[in-house]
C-alpha cells in the first residue's frame, strides 16, 4: 500500500512539474486571443507606444474609438496616444487578472492612464464549464477573490452559494492540473490574429465592420442574427432606458458587494504606486442597484458613470445601437466623446 501511495505521489508530482514547465512557455493571457493579439502587437511596437489604455469586454472593444479619443484630447490641449485592449466576453474578475499581470510587465511602461470597464460580478453558466477561456485567469489569487465575492454579496440562498463555489472550484482545479489547456494555441499558428486589432490597428473593431469583413459564415450569421433581432424589436433599447431610470430613482447606495469595492480600491492603490491613473467606466447597459451603488462608492476621480439616460440621451437612442447590448459606430463616437469629456473634467478637479 505504501509503495502504491508513493508511486501515485511521484506521478502527481511529475505531472504537476511537467504541467508547470509547459505552462511557463505560454503568456498569462494565453486563452484570450483578442487581448493577446493586442498585447503582442504593442510589445513589437518600436515607437509611438500608447500612454493610455482601455481594458474591458466588448462594451470597450466595440465602443471606444482611440482615434476619436486622441483627437478630442489633443483639441483640449492634452497629448494622448490611446489603445483599445477590450475583448469579447471579459468579465470583472478576468479584467482584474489581466491588469494585475500587466503591472508586472513592460506593457504599462509609458502608460499614465488606464480606463477599465466597471461591470458586475457574475458566475459562468453551467454550459461554459470546462472551457479554458473561463478558467485561465483562475490563479490562486483569483480563486480566493471569487470565494470572497460569493461570501460577501447579498444573500442568494445556500444552494446558489454552493453552486457558485462548485463552478469556480472546478475551474480552479482544471487550471491547476492543466486539464484541456493549451490545445487551441498549439493547433492554431495564427491564434493571436492581427484582424482582432481592427482596421485602424488601434484595438477598436466595430460590429458593423466585423460583420461586413468576416470570412467566417458562422460569425456573420451570429452577428446578423443579433443585428436583425434589434431591428425587429426596437423597443428593447427603450426598455433598458426605462429600467435604468427606474432603478436610479430608488437606488439603495448601501446595497453593493463590499468585496468588489475592496478589489477596486486595491487596484487603484497598486496602479497609483507606479504613476498610473486608473479610471473605471460604467457604460450604458442593463444595470442593477448593486452596480450603481458600487459606482457611487468609488472615489470620484476614479469613476465615469455614463449609465445616465437623462444626461447621455444619445447613448439610449435606438439609432445608436447595433444590437440590444452594443453601440454601433455612430453610438461609439458618442460614447467615446462622453468618456473624453468626463475624463477632462476629472483632471481639471485634481
pLDDT at 157: 67
Question: pLDDT tens-digit profile of 275-285?
Answer: 999 999 999 98
Task: Tell me: pLDDT of 11 over 70.
Answer: no
Q: Locate 256 and state its grid cell.
A: 453593493
Segment 280-302 shows an average pLDDT of 93
pLDDT for res 127: 62
Query: pLDDT tens, 130-158?
Result: 788 888 888 888 888 888 888 876 555 67
- Residue 25 pLDDT > 90, yes or no? no
Compute the distance between CA of residue 51 and CA of residue 83 in angstroms, rounded to an integer: 8
pLDDT at 316 over 60: yes
Side by side, the strands of the sheet bearing 277-282 are: 82-84, 52-55, 113-117, 277-282, 303-305
Q: What is the pLDDT of residue 156?
A: 59
Helices (H) and strands (E) in the chain, counts: 15, 5
Residue 338 pLDDT class (50, 70, 90 cuts): very high
Report pLDDT for 65: 98
Does residue 324 contact residue 237 with C-beta atoms inside 8 Å?
Answer: yes
Q: What is the separation of C-alpha 223 from the centre of its chain, rounded to a whole number of angstroms?
A: 20
Give residue 52's pLDDT band: very low, low, confident or very high (50, 70, 90). very high
3-state secondary structure 146-170: HHHHHHHCCCCCHHHHHHHHHHHHH
| DSSP reduced 3-state for 116 | strand
Question: What pLDDT shows up at residue 326?
Answer: 97
Helix (H) or strand (E) holding 52: strand 52-55
Across 245-249, 337-341, 344-348, the highest mean pLDDT is recorded for 337-341
Helix (H, G, I), strand (E, B) or coil at 215: coil
Q: Hey, what's the cell of 182?
A: 493549451
Nearest to 37, CA basis, from 195, 176, 147, 152: 195
Question: In the structure, what pLDDT confidence band is assigned to residue 15 with cuts at 50, 70 and 90?
Answer: low
Nearest to 90 by CA among 142, 55, 125: 55
Please give the Cα distance from 59 to 65 (Å, whole number).
Answer: 11
Looking only at the bridges linking them, the beta strands covering 277-282 and 52-55 are: unpaired
Give the model confidence (pLDDT) of 161-213 as tens digits.
888 888 888 888 888 887 778 777 877 878 999 999 999 999 999 999 999 99
pLDDT digits (tens, 9 = 90+) for 86-137: 999 998 999 999 999 999 999 998 999 999 999 988 777 666 677 888 888 8
Q: Is 258 helix (H, G, I), strand (E, B) or coil?
A: helix
The per-residue pLDDT for 126 is 63
User: Among the residues of 233-323, which ranges form H helices?
Assistant: 235-249, 258-273, 289-297
**Percent over 90 (pLDDT), the chain:** 63
Amino acid at each position: 500500500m505504501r509503495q502504491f501511495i508513493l508511486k501515485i505521489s511521484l506521478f502527481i508530482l511529475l505531472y504537476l512539474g511537467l504541467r508547470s514547465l509547459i505552462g511557463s512557455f505560454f503568456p498569462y493571457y494565453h486563452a484570450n486571443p483578442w487581448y493577446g493579439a493586442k498585447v503582442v502587437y504593442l510589445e513589437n511596437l518600436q515607437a509611438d507606444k500608447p500612454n493610455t489604455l482601455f481594458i474591458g469586454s466588448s462594451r470597450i472593444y466595440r465602443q471606444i474609438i482611440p482615434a476619436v479619443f486622441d483627437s478630442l484630447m489633443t483639441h483640449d490641449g492634452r497629448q494622448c496616444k490611446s489603445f483599445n485592449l477590450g475583448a469579447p466576453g471579459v468579465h470583472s474578475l478576468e479584467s482584474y487578472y489581466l491588469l494585475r499581470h500587466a503591472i508586472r510587465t513592460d506593457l504599462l511602461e509609458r502608460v499614465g492612464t488606464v480606463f477599465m470597464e466597471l461591470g458586475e460580478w457574475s458566475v459562468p453558466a453551467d454550459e461554459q464549464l470546462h472551457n479554458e477561456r473561463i478558467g485561465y485567469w483562475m490563479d490562486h489569487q483569483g480563486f480566493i477573490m471569487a470565494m470572497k465575492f460569493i461570501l460577501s454579496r447579498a444573500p442568494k440562498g445556500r444552494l446558489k452559494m454552493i453552486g457558485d463555489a462548485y463552478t469556480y472550484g472546478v475551474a480552479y482545479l482544471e487550471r491547476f492540473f492543466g486539464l484541456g489547456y493549451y490545445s487551441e494555441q498549439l493547433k492554431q499558428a495564427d491564434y493571436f490574429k492581427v484582424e482582432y486589432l481592427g482596421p485602424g490597428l488601434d484595438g477598436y473593431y466595430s460590429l458593423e465592420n466585423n460583420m461586413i469583413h468576416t470570412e467566417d459564415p458562422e460569425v456573420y450569421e451570429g452577428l446578423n442574427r443579433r443585428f436583425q433581432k434589434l431591428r425587429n424589436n426596437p423597443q428593447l433599447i427603450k426598455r433598458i432606458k426605462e429600467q435604468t431610470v427606474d432603478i436610479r430613482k430608488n437606488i439603495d447606495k448601501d446595497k453593493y458587494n463590499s468585496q468588489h469595492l475592496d478589489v477596486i480600491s486595491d487596484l487603484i492603490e497598486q496602479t497609483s504606486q507606479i504613476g498610473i491613473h486608473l479610471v473605471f467606466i460604467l457604460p450604458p447597459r442593463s444595470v442593477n442597484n448593486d452596480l450603481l451603488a458600487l459606482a457611487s462608492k468609488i472615489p470620484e476621480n476614479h469613476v465615469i458613470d455614463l449609465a445616465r439616460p437623462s444626461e447621455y440621451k444619445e447613448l439610449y437612442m435606438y439609432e445608436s445601437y447595433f444590437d440590444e447590448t452594443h453601440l454601433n459606430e455612430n453610438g461609439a463616437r458618442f460614447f467615446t466623446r462622453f468618456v473624453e469629456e468626463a475624463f477632462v473634467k476629472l483632471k481639471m478637479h485634481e
